[in-house]
Amino acid sequence: MLQWLRRGDPGLSDRRAPTATGRPATRRHREGTGTTMSQHQQQGRVAVITGASSGIGAATARSLHAAGYRVALLARRTDRIEALADELGRGAIAVPADVTDREALLAAADRVRREFGGTDVLVNNAGVMLLGPFSAEQRDDYRRMIEVNLLGAITATEVFLDQLKDGGGDLVNISSVAGRVANVGSGVYAATKFGLNGWSESLRKELLPDVRVTVIEPGVVATELPTHITHAATRQGAQQLYGVAEVTAQDVAEVITFVLQRPRHLAIHEVLLRPAAQAA
Ligand SMILES: NC(=O)c1ccc[n+]([C@@H]2O[C@H](COP(=O)([O-])OP(=O)(O)OC[C@H]3O[C@@H](n4cnc5c(N)ncnc54)[C@H](OP(=O)(O)O)[C@@H]3O)[C@@H](O)[C@H]2O)c1
C-alpha cells in the first residue's frame, strides 16, 4: 500500500535488494556491467527532444547525436526538424508534434518505439517566453505559456513515461533562472518555470531510481526565444539583451550531455547556469 509514495521517502523506503554490483535490481539496466541490454540499447541510447527546431533543443540534438545517441526531433516547424535530421543523418528522425496536442505526442511515442525500440531520455525543452506588463491584453499569452511550458512538459512526460521507466531512463526539464527568481514583467513565464521545478522535484522522488530527473535552469542564452514576445516594447528590450548574449545554446547543450553521461549511480538533479556577467 502507498508503495508509490514510499519510494521517494528515505524513512519509508521499500528499495529493492541490492544486486552483486551494489545497484538496486531494476528490470534491466541500460548501462553498466553484468546487465542485460536490449537490441535498441546496443545501437545507442535514444533521446526525444521537444522544441528541437531551434535554439537549445536543436543544439542538444546535435550534441547528443555527436555523443552517440539516436535522436527524435519534435517540434511544429517540420521544415526545420527535417533539415536537422538530414544534417545529422543516420540515427536522427524528425517527428512533427505540437506539445499541446496529446494525440500528436501519442503518435510520436508510437513512432519512436517502432523506429528506435524505445526512449531512454526525454528532454522537455519546448517553450515560449511571452514577457510584458501584467494586463488583460496579454491573457492569450498567459494561456499559451502555461499550455506549452508547463502542461506540454507534463503531457509529454506522461505519454513517454512507460518507455522511460523500461530499463532506466532520464527526464530533463528545461526550466530557467525564472524558475527561481521572478522579475517584473515575467510573472506568468516565471510561474510556468516555478511550476516545472515543483513538479520535477516531486517526480524526482517518485521515479527514483528508475528514472533520473534533472532540471536545467539557464540565464540569458542567445536564441530566438524573445522574438515571439507579443508586447512590442518588451520584445524590443529583450531582443537587445539577447542580441549581446554570450552564452550559446551549444553551451547549454554541452551541460545537458555531461549530465546524461554520468554513471547511473549518480544523478545531477539541478543545474543553474548564467552568463558570468548576469546578476539577476
Ligand atoms: N534562451 C534563453 O535565454 C532561455 C533561458 C532559460 C530557459 N530557456 C528555455 O529553453 C527552452 C528552449 O528555448 P530557446 O531559448 O531554445 O528558444 P527557441 O529557439 O525559441 O526554441 C523554442 C522551441 O520550442 C518549440 N515550441 C514552441 N511551442 C511549441 C509547441 N506548442 N509544440 C512544440 N514545440 C514548441 C519551438 O519549435 P516550433 O516553433 O517549431 O514548434 C522551438 O523549437 C524554453 O523552454 C525556454 O523557456 C531559454
Average pLDDT of span 217-243: 97
Residue 1's pLDDT is what? 30
Q: Is 204 helix (H, G, I), strand (E, B) or coil?
A: helix
Whether the CB of 57 sits within 6 Å of ligand 1: yes
Task: Give the angle subtended at the CA of 36 by the CAs of 32 and 42, to the nearest 5°.
Answer: 75
- 165 occurs within a structural domain: yes
Distance of CA 94 to the CA centre of its chain: 17
Which pLDDT value is given to residue 40?
53
Q: Is residue 30 part of a domain?
A: no
Rounded Cα distance, 103 and 105, in Å: 5
pLDDT of residue 35: 36
Check pLDDT > 90 for residue 113: yes
Q: Is the pLDDT of residue 238 over 70?
A: yes
Closest C-alpha residue for ligand 1 atom 20: 225
Q: What percent of the chain stands above pLDDT 90?
A: 83
pLDDT digits (tens, 9 = 90+) for 153-187: 999 999 999 999 999 999 999 999 999 999 999 99
- Asked if residue 70 lies in contact with residue 43, where contact means CB atoms within 8 angstroms, the answer is yes
| Residue 33, domain member (yes or no) | no
C-alpha cell read off for 163: 518507455
- Whether 60 and 92 have beta carbons less than 8 Å apart is answered as no
Query: Which CATH number goes with the domain that contains 62?
Result: 3.40.50.720
Q: For residue 238, give the H/E element and its range.
A: helix 232-243
Whether residue 75 has pLDDT greater than 50: yes
173 belongs to a structural domain: yes
Task: For residues 100 and 104, give the distance between their C-alpha atoms in angstroms, rounded to a whole number.
Answer: 9
CB of 104 closer than 6 angstroms to any ligand 1 atom: no
d(CA 204, CA 171): 9
Alpha-carbon gap, residue 213 to 269, rounded angstroms? 6
Say which range, 28-37, 48-57, 88-97, 130-139, has the weakest mean pLDDT: 28-37
Q: Report how far apart the first and last C-alpha atoms of the chain are (Å, whole number).
A: 45
Domain assignment of residue 230, yes or no? yes
**Is residue 31, in this structure, part of any structural domain at all?**
no
pLDDT in tens, 24-43: 333 333 433 333 445 555 56
According to the model, what pLDDT value does residue 280 have? 84
Q: Is the pLDDT of residue 79 over 50?
A: yes
116-125: per-residue pLDDT in tens?
Answer: 999 999 999 9
pLDDT of residue 110: 98
Rounded CA separation 146/154 (Å): 11
Average pLDDT score over the chain: 88
Kindly tell me if the per-residue pLDDT of 88 is higher than 90: yes
Query: How many domains does the chain contain in total?
Result: 1
> Is the Cβ–Cβ distance between 196 and 175 less than 8 Å?
yes
Query: How far apart are the CA of 3 and the centre of ligand 1, in A?
Result: 36
Show the DSSP H helices in 120-227 as ranges.
139-145, 153-165, 187-207
69 is catalytic: no
- pLDDT over threshold 70, residue 17: no
Q: 16 alpha carbon to ligand 1 midpoint, in Å?
A: 38
- Determine the pLDDT at residue 21: 28
Question: Which is nearest to 252 in space by CA: 47, 53, 60, 51?
Answer: 60
Which among 120, 109, 122 has a CA at the least distance from the CA of 172?
A: 122
Residue 98 near ligand 1, beta carbon < 6 Å? yes
Ligand 1 and 169: CB distance under 6 A: no
* Ligand 1 pocket, residue 49 CB under 6 Å: no
pLDDT, average across residues 191-220:
98
Q: In what order do the strands lie in the sheet with 121-124?
A: 92-96, 70-75, 46-50, 121-124, 169-174, 211-218, 270-273
As a whole number, mean pLDDT of residues 200-224 equals 97
| 15 in a structural domain | no
Distance of CA 126 from the midpoint of ligand 1 (Å): 4
Burial of 69 (0-12, 13-18, 19+ CB in 10 A): buried
How much distance in Å is there from the Cα of 128 to the middle of ligand 1?
5
Instruction: Give the domain range for residue 138.
Output: 40-273
Asked, for residue 16, whether it belongs to a domain, the answer is no
Q: The C-alpha cell of 86 is what?
A: 538530414
Q: How confident is the model at residue 22 (pLDDT cuts 50, 70, 90)?
A: very low
Asked if residue 259 lies in contact with residue 214, where contact means CB atoms within 8 angstroms, the answer is yes
Identify the band that residue 54 occupies on the pLDDT scale cut at 50, 70 and 90. Answer: very high
Q: Is the pLDDT of residue 16 over 80?
A: no
